Structure 1
Amino acid sequence: MKTNLKPSRYPGRVCSEAREIYEILDEGRFCTIAYAVNEEPHQLPTGYCRLHDKVYIHGSSKSHFLHQLADVRQVCFNVMLFDGLVLAPTAFDHSVNYRSVIAYSPAKKVESMAKKREVLECFTNKYIPGRMKDLAAPSDQQLSATLVLEISLEYVSAKVRSGTVGGDLSDAEVWSGVVPAAIAYGVPEQDSSQSSTIPVPGYLTEMVVKSNSQC
């Protein structure tokens, strides 16, 4: 991992520790991938997962956009977590607390069926921890119908903004401070066509409770 990408502003917010970068990526749910084809810009919002020092995205093997990603020399991968609003006495000094990661890498097709299986199981458990133990493993036909792309974290950088407004606000005439933000899940709603005798899985209840406790 090379974290020597130079920021244009706020160098004090740069995070270069692999552990912290991985924590941001593991908590994040969605990314944006930017690339150019024939000097025309494109951008793809999608889900992802991380395994070691690589991130992975997937979709249909017939996806035009995913094949384009695999054909270009380099893509730009970005994740941002929104942690709160920072309200200051002046509009100019308002800000947000955030954590972000940006990486530059080719997007390589994963050809190995075993690696595809590992990635897709990791992907499912990222969004619903423990879910794969209830599910059948993907079939070879399903794996063949799925295109998986690998993005390296060799050239990566992260930025973090945390804390309050800063400075002495004793003379401020308007309320100032931080409004924390977090993602929360609602109560699971079972599909109406399914038998109501099937209980809500414990891992799903745990995920909902955990998310709400952070709000």
Structure 2
Amino acid sequence: MKPIDITDRTRVRRGPKKACYNRETIYSILDEAYVCHLGATMHGTAAVQPNFHWRIGDRLYIHGSIKNGLFQSIIRGETTCITVTLLDGLVFAKSAFHHSANFRSVMLYGKGDVVEESEHKRFALDQMLEKFSRGRSEEARKPNDTEMKATVVISFPIEEVSAKIRTGGPIDDAEDADYPTWSGIKPVSTHIGDLQPD
């Protein structure tokens, strides 16, 4: 895999030991997560919204209404900041100050490219359904022309990107070692349940 270059925007400065610039690790986080948050400037002010995302090769894809204000800003060339976070555990320390969380996160900067070519756009949307469930793109009705026109698909190069990861238990001050309270980890996981038919 092509190495990731560290930039001023992606260099992790707070907690640099938690930084990860490994493409395989970054891809695994993006692939496991279902929801990202898109940040860009809209009507002269900062705006953030959640969105479904998926990856094809070295590009991250999002989709939504062509009339969406934030998407319109991205289409006009606004640099977008995309974040993804997987929460793995709540970390309980002896002191209130040292409580923390175990997590895996990715932050990506880039300018989006609108997927214009119809076959590419249909393929990309099929891959989104495949993230829902393997084989779903063949089971569902294909989008019609009206639906395709109403939907914009935007892809971002996965280049200016970094991950930040925390694992392990609490890090307490030595003087708190005997403080009479519980410390440890409360695990957190995302559970994908069984299908509940309509």
Q: Say whether the fold is shared (TM-score over 0.5).
A: yes
In structure 1, what is the equivalent of residue 122 of structure 2? 117
SS in 1 for 2:104: strand
* One-letter identity of the residue aligned with 2:111: P
What do the CA deviations read for 1:84-139 (whole angstroms, capped 9, x no partner)?
10000001000000111111111221101111112111111112233223224434
Instruction: Output the CA distance in 1 between the equivalents of 2:143 and 2:44.
Output: 38
SS in 2 for 1:48: strand
CA shift at 1:14, angstroms? 0.4
In the alignment, structure 1 residue 3 sits paired with structure 2 residue 6: yes
Q: 2:184 aligns with which of 165, 173, 177?
A: 177
Name whichever of 7-16 and 55-64 sits farther off.
Answer: 55-64
Q: Tell me if structure 2 keeps the 8 A contact 1:21–1:101.
A: yes
TM-score (normalised: structure 2): 0.88
Superposed, 1:75-94 pairs within 5 Å as 75-94=80-99
CA shift at 1:61, angstroms? 2.5
SS in 1 for 2:191: coil
Instruction: Output the CA distance in 1 between the equivalents of 2:181 and 2:126.
Output: 50
* One-letter identity of the residue aligned with 1:24: I
What do the CA deviations read for 1:172-191 (whole angstroms, capped 9, x no partner)?
31111011111123443222
Instruction: Output the CA distance in 2 between the equivalents of 1:81 and 1:72.
Output: 28
CA shift at 1:144, angstroms? 2.7
Instruction: Output the CA distance in 1 between the equivalents of 2:64 and 2:44.
Output: 24
SS in 2 for 1:149: strand
Q: Tell me if structure 2 keeps the 8 A contact 1:36–1:72.
A: no
Instruction: Output the CA distance in 2 between the equivalents of 1:183 and 1:73.
Output: 32
In structure 2, what is the equivalent of residue 100 of structure 1? 105
Q: Tell me if structure 2 keeps the 8 A contact 1:77–1:102.
A: yes
SS in 1 for 2:152: strand
TM-score (normalised: structure 1): 0.81
Q: Tell me if structure 2 keeps the 8 A contact 1:37–1:72.
A: no
* One-letter identity of the residue aligned with 1:179: K
CA shift at 1:7, angstroms? 1.8
In structure 1, what is the equivalent of residue 138 of structure 2? 133
Unaligned regions of 5+ residues in structure 1, if any? 192-215
Unaligned regions of 5+ residues in structure 2, if any? none
CA RMSD of aligned residues (A): 1.9
CA shift at 1:145, angstroms? 2.6
In the alignment, structure 1 residue 189 sits paired with structure 2 residue 192: no
CA shift at 1:73, angstroms? 3.0
What do the CA deviations read for 1:45-88 (whole angstroms, capped 9, x no partner)?
11111111111111123333312221143111111111110000
